Each structure stands twice: as C-alpha cells, then as structure tokens.
A and B are shown apart, each in its own frame.
Chain A
Amino acid sequence: EPEVTQTPSHQVTQMGQEVILRCVPISNHLYFYWYRQILGQKVEFLVSFYNNEISEKSEIFDDQFSVERPDGSNFTLKIRSTKLEDSAMYFCASKEEGTSYEQYFGPGTRLTVT
C-alpha cells in the first residue's frame, strides 16, 4: 500500500541553526500538509500546499518557516533559525484531489533543538 515517507526520523540541531525536514507524499496526491505535535500536546496544523503554492497557514507558520516542492516527489519544510520551542514531532500528510477526504500521515520527524 502506498505511504507517505519522511526523513530523517530524528533530527537534533542547535538553536539558531536551519533545518530541512523532508517528505515524499503518495505519488498521485495533490494536497500536502505539515502538522506538528509538541510532546504531550495536540496535533497542530502548520500549512497546506496545493498547486505549487500555500493554500493556508496557521499563526505558528511565521517567517521562520517555509515549504517547497522542489521536484515532482519531495515536499520540504524549512525552519530558518530554530528555537527551543520548535522541538516537536513534525508530520507530513497528503491527500488526493477532488472529493477524497482522508489525509494520510507520514511517520514523522522528531526535531530536538538544544
């Protein structure tokens, strides 16, 4: 069964460093998402992406965050200058076009900022 994949599974970085989290959505999906989950807290929406542009973003998704679909398969989340509070599990998700409603989540990248 097709699945969303994410790399790396765990990333440790120092405060102020840039990180890029990578996702490969399911191949025929056209909607892409990033969510995050701080340990012990709820899953929070960050950004949605469709037709090569951001369709919606949350208040969390400030100027330090950016997304890109550099080629036909990858979808990346960049955090320009990481803060301690960016430590969380980051989930990528994707969805088919049209009336399909289910978002398929990847296994997540655990980001630890020290």
Chain B
Amino acid sequence: GQNIDQPTEMTATEGAIVQINCTYQTSGFNGLFWYQQHAGEAPTFLSYNVLDGLEEKGRFSSFLSRSKGYSYLLLKELQMKDSASYLCAVRDRRAAGNKLTFGGGTRVLVKP
C-alpha cells in the first residue's frame, strides 16, 4: 500500500515563503503530484515530479527526492488567495488506471 504524510496546517504572512513537506512510502512510485484545493471546491493541478530535482512554475516550485521518499512544495510571494489546502498525491506504477493516492492535505492560512 501507500502512506503519505504532510503537516495538517501552516500559517504564513502575505509576501512570505512557505514550504510544505510531504513524505511518502510506496512500493511502485510513478510520480508525485501537488494539487491546490480551496474549501468546497475541486482540486486543481499545480505540479508533477517524476525525476529527482526541482520543478519551477512561477511562484510555485516542487522538489522531489525519490531515494528519501520526500517532496516539498514551495510557495513564494504569498498572496491572500493562496489560502487553501495543498494536497500531495502519489501515483503507483502498478496501478492499471493511474490512480492517485492523496495525503490528508496541508491547510495554509495566509495572514495580512
């Protein structure tokens, strides 16, 4: 099976940087995803890592270390609209249909 851990909640100030860590255990890793989810809404795709290293996309970056089973999502120049839950999800190589297994999500609160 798969086990995905991420902090429950983080608070940061507008304009600052926040790093959300995710650790995972899986027997057949085939990619790690970060999604953003505002309350009551659908998850929206932020990033995908399948190789080690950093992927940068505007204010958001995601890092992966497969040997450590570790990823982080970095949010820079925080804006109030970034207040949301951030979901780490892993895809299993053995999954026929490319299903995603999600962590519990990290709720980020951005304060003025």
Contacts and interface: CB of A to CB of B under 8 A. Distances in A.
A49 interface: yes
A72 B6 CA distance: 39
A108 B96 CA distance: 24
Nearest to A50: B97
A74 B5 CA distance: 35
A56 B104 contact: no
B45 A48 contact: no
Contact of A103 (B41, B95, B100, B105): B100
Contact of A56 (B42, B50, B96): B96
Contact of A42 (B45, B95, B102): B102
Contacts of B98: 31, 48, 95, 101, 103
Contacts of A55: 96-97
B99 A108 contact: no
A104 B31 CA distance: 16
* A33, A42, A91 — most chain B CB neighbours (10 Å): A42
Contacts of A42: 87, 102-105
Interface string B87-112: 10101000111111111110000000
A56 B41 contact: no
B13 interface: no
Contacts of B45: 102-104
Interface string B55-85: 0000000000000000000000000000000
Interface in A13-55: 31, 33, 35, 41-45, 48-50, 55
Given A101-B48, A107-B42, A44 B102 contact: yes
B31 A56 contact: no
15 contacts: A31-B98, A43-B37, A48-B96, A48-B98, A48-B99, A55-B96, A55-B97, A56-B96, A58-B99, A91-B43, A101-B31, A101-B91, A103-B98, A104-B45, A108-B42
Interface of A: 31, 33, 35, 41-45, 48-50, 55-56, 58, 91, 95, 101-108
